[in-house]
Amino acid sequence: MSDQPIVTAAPTESKELTSFADLVSLCKRRGFVFPSSEIYGGIGSCWDYGPLGVELKLNIKNSWWKAMTDRDDVEGLDASILMHPRTWEASGHVEGFVDPLVDCKTCKGRFRADKLEHASCGKKLSLQPGKHSECALTEPRLFNLMFKTHMGPLEDSANIVYLRPETAQGIFVNFENVQQSARQKIPFGIAQIGKAFRNEITPGNFIFRTREFEQMEMQFFVKPGTDMEWFENWKQTRIDWHISNGLRRSKLRFHQHGPTELAHYAKAAFDVEYEFPIGWQEIEGVHNRSDFDLKRHQEFSGKKCEYFEEATKEKFIPFVVETSVGCDRSLLSVLCDAYRLEGERTVLKLHPKLAPYKVAVFPLMKKPELLELTDKVFGTVKKHFRSTYDESGTIGKRYRRQDEIGTPYCVTIDYDALANGAHPGTVTIRERDQMTQERIPVENVVAYIQDKMANWKSE
């Protein structure tokens, strides 16, 4: 692309993220994630996505949506959050969507009885609840995680509705609508992105566990007997998707649910886990839900949820393989994986397709003779990539600012680029990960960045 040598920076030791605290502070400072209602002191476990966070989140959603709906056998859906309350009786959530809760009479703390090893005693943070001599834990009692509200002006038990705790049920109740309107044949899937709400007993760890979050779910309807084959197929497809977003394979693994972990609807389940600074944790669930949901909706609604297979003239209730990933948790894994501390600089080595800005354009100095060419270059790259412009501070400081928000390419217009300069009509492109710099003719900038983006690899 250029006859100019590539300038490489001296390698520095690269350190990974060791606690969420550093990430929380970067996210606040640079406008990725803010505590919700902060001016009122915040509200537990709720977070707002700032200008860069919302871009990153949209890019993750687009990556997922494209991976799902570019397939001919997956259709999209956007179902409502509030559903007929019978939905949640049929799905088993009214009865069974519960976690065991224990209270400590001494510190007044409230904990999930099955996750005590991840919680801290109110008297001594280094101990788990129950391990301090003064702990007085109650017997576990079951607590339903669904948020309840009322539909219409009267607040009585007749008009209770729930904020959906998962997006899946909107898909099940629309199985026939989608299958018939899209003229799909089994096997086929329905994909949806949307908010879900769970009144978690112990939310925390930044955006890892919150009470309001977004899910990206896909239910794949298959003929009974073919379900385990599809299950294996989707397991692989889903781990590959996380890798396609730049996550390192070594930081991902599967965890198979044992008999005591399986949800009430599941015949088989695997979690995709990521190694966060708090250890290996689930980011996605892949479940074989059998025919549980459609059978229950058929029973509770009185409407047939069967499929007629033209070729064999057979009628059956399809089995469902579900893939369910939290958008916020996926975003957290992407940020954790990208975060590096290298000497003086903090850098987010985000996959370029996910980075909020792909390109930053700088004039070397704020001088009129440089601004004309800078405007031209900025105008061109903006048409192709989401880009930002910065003219304040030293170039080194501007690089650091872009490193911290994960911008993969910085384009600088210097005096050499001017008509009377040593390399007229050229710019310098500095690449975020290796900090290499290359001088490129202006007309090649777009193609150069497109090529770099297409061939980007995680380190």
Q: Which residues in this chain contact ligand ATP in the complex, by CB under 6 A?
A: 166, 198, 200, 209-210, 213, 215, 282-285, 324-326, 328-329
Nearer to ligand ATP, 328 or 403 (CB): 328
CA–CA separation, 114 and 261 (whole Å): 11
Is the separation of the CB atoms in 23 and 206 below 8 Å? yes
Pick between residue 290 and residue 428 the one whose CB is nearest to ligand ATP. Answer: 290
Give the shortest CB-243-to-ligand ATP separation in angstroms: 17
Q: Closer to ligand ATP by CB, 187 or 326: give it.
A: 326
CA dist., res. 252 & res. 272, Å (int): 7
Nearest to 21 by CA among 341, 284, 382, 320: 341
Name the minimum Å distance from CB 175 to ligand ATP: 20
In the complex, minimum distance from the CB of residue 138 to ligand ATP, in angstroms, rounded to a whole number:
22
- Give 72: exposed, middle or buried? Use CB within 10 Å, 0-12, 13-18, 19+: exposed
Closer CB to ligand ATP, 327 or 373, in the complex: 327
Q: Which letter does DSSP use for residue 41 in this model?
A: T
Least distance to ligand ATP from the beta carbon of 279, Å? 13
Which CB atom, from 218 or from 294, has the smaller least distance to ligand ATP? 218
The crossing angle, in degrees rounded to 10, of helices 327-338 and 20-30 is 100
The C-alpha atoms of residue 426 and residue 442 are separated, in whole angstroms, by: 5
Closer of 283 and 294 to ligand ATP (Cβ): 283
Q: How many angstroms separate the CA atoms of 384 and 446, rounded?
A: 7
167 touches 212 (CB < 8 A)? no
Both tokens of 226, joined, read: 């073919």
For ligand ATP, give the closer residue by CB, 328 or 337: 328
Tokens at residue 355, please? 């980075």
Min CB(33)–ligand ATP separation in Å: 13
Least separation, in Å, of the C-beta of 47 and ligand ATP? 10
Closest CB 147 distance from ligand ATP, rounded Å: 12
At 288, the amino acid letter reads: N
Amino acid 158 reads: A
